[in-house]
């Protein structure tokens, strides 16, 4: 067999070319599997479920303790918002804790759902979803417990403001 480039001479095979990637002759390239999505979701859900309720509970206890005597002096069935004036900075702290926990929890929930759908750290994504959903329950329970404890401490005159 002769070719136009080598008249009268033998035809040589083409130089060795690697087969296409992913065929049976070569393994597929090592794929870097970064899974930060589920991990970020889990971390954010823990912050929203632990840190925000802790700050909110602290603020609720201090608010109830600081304005407790005024609560006991009000007639039943009425509420005067002026009783919160002495502790308005703590009321603001509790509100900021509530809203920041809400925003962080919603972001954690969305990231957890995205991680599960994309199959990126599915276990961490599922845990993040569960923890983020429990966050408002933890916040409400801890705030109610702290308000009750603060009112009890204010009513007995046990802990000074």
The reported pLDDT for the residue numbered 8 is: 63
The reported pLDDT for the residue numbered 74 is: 76
Span between the terminal Cα atoms of the chain, in Å: 103
* pLDDT at residue 1 tops 60: no
* pLDDT at residue 158 tops 50: no
Count the Cβ atoms, other than its own, within 10 Å of residue 118.
13
The reported pLDDT for the residue numbered 32 is: 66
* Cα 108 to Cα 1, 47, 133, distances in angstroms: 69, 9, 10
* Cα 157 to Cα 3, 82, 91, 161, distances in angstroms: 107, 21, 21, 9
Q: Does the CA dihedral 108-112-113-115 come out positive or negative?
A: positive
The reported pLDDT for the residue numbered 73 is: 76
pLDDT confidence of 28, banded at 50, 70, 90? low
* pLDDT at residue 53 tops 80: yes
The reported pLDDT for the residue numbered 4 is: 56
Whole-number mean pLDDT of the chain? Answer: 84
Tokens of 154: 């204010």
Nearest CA to 58 out of 93, 89, 31 is that of: 93
Is the pTM higher than 0.85?
A: no
- Check residue 5 and report its DSSP letter: T
Q: What's the CA gap between 122 and 128, in Å, rounded?
A: 10
φ, ψ for residue 3, nearest 5 deg:
-120, 160
The reported pLDDT for the residue numbered 71 is: 75
**In the block, residue with structure tokens 């480039």:** 5
Least confident of 16-30, 101-115, 120-134, 142-156: 16-30
Tokens of 132: 């983020």
């Amino acid at each position: 067999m002769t070719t136009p480039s080598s008249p009268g001479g033998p035809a040589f095979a083409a130089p060795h070319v690697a087969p296409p990637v992913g065929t049976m002759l070569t393994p597929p390239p090592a794929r870097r599997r970064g899974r930060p999505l589920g991990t970020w979701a889990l971390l954010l859900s823990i912050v929203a479920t632990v840190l925000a309720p802790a700050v909110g509970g602290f603020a609720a206890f201090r608010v109830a303790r600081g304005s407790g005597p005024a609560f006991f002096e009000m007639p039943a069935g009425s509420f005067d918002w002026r009783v919160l004036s002495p502790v308005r900075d703590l009321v603001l702290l509790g509100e900021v804790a509530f809203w920041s926990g809400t925003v962080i929890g919603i972001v954690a929930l969305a990231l957890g759902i995205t991680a599960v759908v994309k199959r990126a750290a599915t276990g961490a994504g599922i845990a993040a979803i569960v923890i983020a959903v429990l966050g408002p329950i933890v916040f409400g329970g801890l705030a109610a417990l702290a308000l009750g404890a603060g009112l009890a401490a204010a009513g007995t005159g046990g802990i000074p403001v």
